[in-house]
Amino acid sequence: MSIPGLGWPASWSRQRRSTATIVAACVALVVALWVAANFIALAPAPIGPNAKFFAEGMVVTVQLTIVSGLIGVVLGLLAALGKGSRILPLRWLAGFYIWVIRGTPLLVQIFFVYFALPEVAKAFGSEWLTQLSRMTEFTAAVLALSLNVGAYNAEAFRAGLEAVHKGQFEAARSLGLSKWHTLIDVSFPQAFKVALPPLVNNVVALLKDSSLAYSIGVVELTNVGARVQSSTFQPVPILITTAILYLVMTTLLTQITNGIEHRFDIEGRRS
């Protein structure tokens, strides 16, 4: 199918539009942070005098989301491959990881990583494990959030891999492709498209879940709001402002993830 008069495949046009959407949403997210740093200062008290702190909190929230989201995708893929492995210990380990993370609250996981994990590392006494006892609040939050979203991503990847028909694998093998090349070149691209919608939903949810990092002292947006509220004793405008800023960030992130979905929609099922 081509665009009349141009001869370009329709999929090219969709990919160009989706790429433009991703770029525009990324730019808008950066602009939103800049606006928070400059124009919120024009708001009446108690928001205006604390605009700088709200902007800094938004930056930390975005950093938590991006870093944890990227690590979580890698962890999810490894866990999905491990759960589908023929190596029994590897399959058990991946299944145990997914079972524990999905079955316990994120807040408990954050507390465990920040308070308990360093003590466990000290007990083993090895040099690199001892470094865990010196984790900053931000590092602990990233580790906990990554482990959490990775378990949910693992199920998304596993569903995608199981959605690929076995005939695809058999056909690739009959053409002489190795198991590794069959996975990378045949199975994974198809599985990734199936897993993409839940993956991007997990990233959007991660942005909101990052607010729990407040519990261990990370100065992200929720923590900033709580600090301003405790110093001004005006909860209503503070909470409304915090909610609006989260809404702006999640809306822009949703636009970015929607653009990514369209970018990989080769068949054009989404118009």
Identify the residue with better confidence: 164 or 139.
Answer: 139
Whole domain around residue 101: which residue ranges? 10-38+49-263
- Out of 40-54, 107-121, 160-174, 223-237, pick the least confident: 160-174
Q: Which of 204, 115, 104, 191 is nearest to 147 (CA)?
A: 104
pLDDT tens digits, one per residue of 182-209: 777 778 888 888 888 899 899 999 999 9
Residue 240: inside a domain:
yes
pLDDT recorded at residue 84: 86
pLDDT band for 47, please (50, 70, 90 cuts): confident
pLDDT recorded at residue 175: 75
Phi, psi (rounded to 5 degrees) for 266: -65, -40
Residue 3: inside a domain:
no
pLDDT recorded at residue 2: 40
- Out of 76-90, 154-168, 233-247, pick the least confident: 154-168
pLDDT recorded at residue 60: 94
Residue 271: inside a domain:
no
Residue 270: inside a domain:
no
pLDDT tens digits, one per residue of 82-141: 998 889 999 999 999 999 999 999 999 999 999 988 888 777 766 666 676 678 999 999
Q: Are 113 and 100 in contact (CB under 8 A)?
A: no
Question: Rounded CA gap, 265 and 271, in Å?
Answer: 9
The pLDDT of residue 7 is above 70: no
The pLDDT of residue 15 is above 60: no
* Crossing angle of the two packed helices 88-103 and 137-163, in degrees rounded to 10: 120
pLDDT recorded at residue 29: 66
Give percent of the chain with pLDDT exceeding 90.
Answer: 44
pLDDT recorded at residue 42: 73
Residue 1: inside a domain:
no
Residue 212 contacts by C-beta under 8 Å, 6 or more apart in sequence? 106, 107, 110
**Into how many domains does the chain fold?**
1
pLDDT recorded at residue 38: 67
Question: Rounded CA gap, 188 and 181, in Å?
Answer: 10
pLDDT tens digits, one per residue of 244-264: 999 988 988 887 777 777 776
The pLDDT of residue 28 is above 70: no
Q: Are 79 and 150 in contact (CB under 8 A)?
A: yes
Residue 172: inside a domain:
yes
C-alpha 4 chain-centroid distance = 39
Residue 89: inside a domain:
yes
C-alpha 133 chain-centroid distance = 25
pLDDT band for 13, please (50, 70, 90 cuts): low
Residue 44: inside a domain:
no
The pLDDT of residue 225 is above 90: yes
pLDDT recorded at residue 8: 39
- Out of 1-10, 62-71, 161-170, 203-212, pick the least confident: 1-10
pLDDT recorded at residue 162: 86
CATH number at residue 141: 1.10.3720.10
Query: If you average pLDDT over every residue of the chain, what do you get?
Result: 82
